[in-house]
């Protein structure tokens, strides 16, 4: 299939005129016609003729120096502002909201020549790990439509998995890129906090939110991040740190990672982790050992406190962020919030209320500081950490929504990373006997995306898990 090709291969084919951007866009809409009824991955699909017109213009204007994403079709999680195209955040509160401006990440992709195909379904406001908590119907996992794709960026992962676009932009507050990437067999990056501007992204928990790439491979994610990262005057939390040439740094990755040390926190591979996932990740670590990397077992005694810290701070921030949706500014009023969203608002409001602030929120922030120190200690003893992404394979539709605690536990391995701010790359690491995808995450120091890409790319050069797509 044409869209199985990497971004680099697509750009080479476009330059050689083996096919056109118009061909790529047509293939996206063919795949949408077949897969959208099965997956419900989209909330808004850009008018086909509009996208084709843009593709024809790109084909006519293409030059030998065209950027890597020029003429490449992509999709956005529906939490990003897009001028003239509705942004719902999967909630009826914003069902008819049309932003008057563009999110920075969307503007940068447009400036790079990428072509928007649509806005993707998700857990409303980012509240969930299954993409079922949405007012636009649950998203289905293309590997098994009786199962969830993960969340909250589930529509993005499902869309890339069945090639309804070449790549996607998601948002990760506690695992929302990594979780669906693992369950849908795509690659996704939770960036260092501030690496990509959050301007124009609907806020969940502002001190945790990150904007990142979702693609078929590490190589694709490197190209996407290269186009989207960097300081932004519209976002005071974006970092004034130079953006490396991530794609160029992939050359010779296997030689560069030799003698680098992988840390394996023993607490993350014990009780509660599906045996097939444990075996898959251990086998993947063996692949990295075969590439010359060293392995060191470490201890992370604070691990069990990750969920309570996250689920005190994040709901507190979301209770503040969602206060603006009062029916005056954006249309829909608060009666449109889902049960899961109301649950998080109430938890956060309670944690911030007089008499409970010190007992809950302040203690959680102190524990957050301990987690920052814990990750700093761990990453001083190794170059990267390797962890599971999910404790189980993708559950059946309805299972997580029927059990709010299980819904929270779906992110047990990912939520401690966002409060710390370090980057984490989720890559496919195998399949269960039943054929369901498994992912692992590689965690690094602040702004160590280059190293994560090099390790992930070297791993994908030795394995073919990331090349496999669901049967269509």
Q: What is the pTM of this model?
A: 0.97
Given this model, what pLDDT does residue 472 score? Answer: 76
Which pairing describes strands 261-265 and 384-388: parallel, antiparallel, or unpaired?
parallel
In the annotation, is 91 catalytic? no
Alpha carbon distance 84, 51 (integer Å): 14
Given this model, what pLDDT does residue 329 score? Answer: 84
CA 165 to chain centre: 15
Q: Which of 58, 77, 119, 216 is catalytic?
A: 77
Q: In this structure, what token pair is assigned to residue 197?
A: 């501007």
Domain residue extents for the chain: 2-467
Alpha carbon distance 27, 229 (integer Å): 28
**Residue-wise pLDDT tens for the chain (472 aa)?**
899 999 999 999 999 999 999 999 999 999 999 999 999 999 999 999 999 999 999 999 999 999 999 999 999 999 999 999 999 999 999 999 999 999 999 999 999 999 999 999 999 999 999 999 999 999 999 999 999 999 999 999 999 999 999 999 999 999 999 999 999 999 999 999 999 999 999 999 999 999 999 999 999 999 999 999 999 999 999 999 999 999 999 999 999 999 999 999 999 999 999 999 999 999 999 999 999 999 999 999 999 999 999 999 999 999 999 999 988 888 788 999 999 999 999 999 999 998 899 999 999 999 999 999 999 999 999 999 999 999 999 999 999 888 877 877 889 999 999 999 999 999 999 999 999 999 999 999 999 999 999 999 999 999 999 999 998 7
Q: Please, are residues 307 and 408 in contact by the beta-carbon 8 Å criterion?
A: yes
Q: Please, are residues 68 and 220 in contact by the beta-carbon 8 Å criterion?
A: no
Give CA separation, 73 vs 102, 189, 224, in Å.
18, 19, 12
Per-residue pLDDT tens digits for 380-413 = 999 999 999 999 999 999 998 888 778 778 899 9
Phi, psi of 265 (to 5 degrees): -70, 115
Q: Which of 91, 152, 181, 429 is catalytic?
A: 152
Count CA within 13 A, CB hemisphere, residue 52.
Answer: 9
Specify the CATH architecture of the domain 2-467: Alpha-Beta Complex (3.90)
Alpha carbon distance 8, 360 (integer Å): 49
In the annotation, is 48 catalytic? no
Which of 413, 463, 146 lies closest to 306, judged by CA? 413
Alpha carbon distance 432, 454 (integer Å): 26
In the annotation, is 65 catalytic? no
The end-to-end CA distance of the chain, in Å, is: 11
Given this model, what pLDDT does residue 181 score? Answer: 98
Q: Which of 21, 153, 176, 217 is catalytic?
A: 176
């Amino acid at each position: 299939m044409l869209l199985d090709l990497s971004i680099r291969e697509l750009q080479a084919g476009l330059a050689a005129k083996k096919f056109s951007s118009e061909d790529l866009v047509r293939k996206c809409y063919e795949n949408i016609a077949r897969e959208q009824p099965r997956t419900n991955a989209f909330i808004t699909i850009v008018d086909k003729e509009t996208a084709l017109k843009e593709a024809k213009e790109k084909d006519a204007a293409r030059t030998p120096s065209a950027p890597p994403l020029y003429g490449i079709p992509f999709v956005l999680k529906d939490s990003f502002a897009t001028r003239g195209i509705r942004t719902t955040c999967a909630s009826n509160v914003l069902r008819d909201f049309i932003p008057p401006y563009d999110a920075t990440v969307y503007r940068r992709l447009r400036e790079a020549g990428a072509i928007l195909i649509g806005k993707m379904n998700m857990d409303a406001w980012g509240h969930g790990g299954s993409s079922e908590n949405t007012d636009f119907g649950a998203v289905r996992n293309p590997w098994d439509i009786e199962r969830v794709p993960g969340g909250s960026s589930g529509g993005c992962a499902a869309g890339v998995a069945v090639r309804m676009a070449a790549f996607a932009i998601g948002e990760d507050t506690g695992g929302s890129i990594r979780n669906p990437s693992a369950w849908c067999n795509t690659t996704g990056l939770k960036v260092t906090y501030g690496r990509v501007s959050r301007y124009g992204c609907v806020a969940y928990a502002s001190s945790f939110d990150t904007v990142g790439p979702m693609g078929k491979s590490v190589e694709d994610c490197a190209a996407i991040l290269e186009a989207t990262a960097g300081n932004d005057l519209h976002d005071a939390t974006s970092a004034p740190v130079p953006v490396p040439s991530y794609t160029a740094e992939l050359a010779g990755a296997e030689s560069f990672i030799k003698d680098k040390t992988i840390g394996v926190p023993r607490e993350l591979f014990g009780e509660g982790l599906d045996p097939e996932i444990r075996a898959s990740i251990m086998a993947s670590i063996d692949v990295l050992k075969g590439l010359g990397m060293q392995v060191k077992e470490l201890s992370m005694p604070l691990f069990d406190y990750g969920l309570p810290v996250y689920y005190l701070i994040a709901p507190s921030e979301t209770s503040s962020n969602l206060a603006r949706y009062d029916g005056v500014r954006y249309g829909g009023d608060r009666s449109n919030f889902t049960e899961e969203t109301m649950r998080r608002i109430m938890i956060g409001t309670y944690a911030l209320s007089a008499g409970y602030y010190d007992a809950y929120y302040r203690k959680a922030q102190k524990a957050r500081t301990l987690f920052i120190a814990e990750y700093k200690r761990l990453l001083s003893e190794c170059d990267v950490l390797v962890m599971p992404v999910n404790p189980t394979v993708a559950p059946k539709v309805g299972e997580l929504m029927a059990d709010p605690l299980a819904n929270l536990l779906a992110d047990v391995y990912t939520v401690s990373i966002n409060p710390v701010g370090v980057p984490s790359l989720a890559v496919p690491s195998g399949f269960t006997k039943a054929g369901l995808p498994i992912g692992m995450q590689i965690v690094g120091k602040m702004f160590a995306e280059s190293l994560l890409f090099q390790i992930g790319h070297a791993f994908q050069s030795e394995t073919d898990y990331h090349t496999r797509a669901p049967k269509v």
